Amino acid sequence: MRCFYSILLLSVVFSCKNNDLPKPSAMLRLEYSDATYYQTNFPLPFNFLQNSLSKTVDQIKFNKNKSTVGVNIKYPAQKATLHLTYKPVEDNLINLLKDTQNFTQKHTIKADEILSEFYENKESQVYGMLYEVNGNAASQAQFYLTDSIKHFLSGSLYFYAKPNYDSIYPAVEYLKKDVKKLIESLTWKY
């Protein structure tokens, strides 16, 4: 029996080596350089500050009567696009507001929460609402801006990836700052 304990003790002593343990899952750390902005000068009825890391594509898309204008601003590093749509106000402000708000509400199915933030700049005559959509929704930020008389601009931020909020969170936070900068810097051309 003594021999058995000696062998058992020797096997325990010599078998105790560093066992490899599984490593916990790690999240990819995404870091983006600080944004620098420049003033846009498109042939559009508005101007704003745009991130120099973004690319404007499909600058102008007119509908049949040439009153609706679309601009897409791509963010290659974040794999996202900010879609802007301009429509003139012609006794249709209530319908434009309803359409934009209904479009945002469609994201409640997948969203964890939708936070709204009112924006007002009396000096530039820019009034609007920013909707921050948290969760696995298709669009993470939406907004509308208007002067209530002549101009109406709406925007939606989309990623070209499956909406997994945990994975795209750093890009979402970076681009929400850009959306806020656009809103704060927007001026109408009269």
Residue listed under structure tokens 């969203």: 111
Asked whether residue 130 is domain-assigned, the answer is yes
Contact 113, 140 (CB under 8 A): no
Residue 24 lies in a domain: no
Would you say residue 54 lies in a domain?
A: yes
Longest pairwise C-alpha distance within the chain: 100
Mean pLDDT of 126-146: 91
* Residue 127: other Cβ atoms inside 10 A: 15
Task: For residue 105, give its domain range.
Answer: 38-188
User: Does residue 138 lie within any of the structural domains?
Assistant: yes
pLDDT > 90 fraction of the chain, expressed in percent and rounded = 48
Which of 2-6, 13-17, 88-92 has the largest mean confidence? 88-92
Residue 80 lies in a domain: yes
For 17-65, the three-class secondary structure string (H helix, E strand, C coil) is CCCCCCCCCCCCCCCCCCCCEEECCCCCCEECEEECCCEEECCCCECCC
Q: What is the pLDDT of residues 65-83, one digit of tens each?
A: 667 888 999 999 899 999 9
**Into how many domains does the chain fold?**
1
pLDDT band for position 103 (cuts 50, 70, 90) = confident
- As a whole number of angstroms, the distance between CA 140 and CA 90 comes to 29
Mean residue pLDDT across the chain: 84
Q: Are 144 and 100 in contact (CB under 8 A)?
A: yes
**Beta partners for 153?**
86, 145
Map residue 122 onto helix, strand or coil.
coil
Residue 157 lies in a domain: yes
Query: What is the CATH classification number for the domain harbouring 66?
Result: 3.40.1000
Assess if residue 2 is contained within a domain. Answer: no
Question: 22 in a domain, yes or no?
Answer: no
pLDDT band, residue 1 (cuts 50/70/90): low
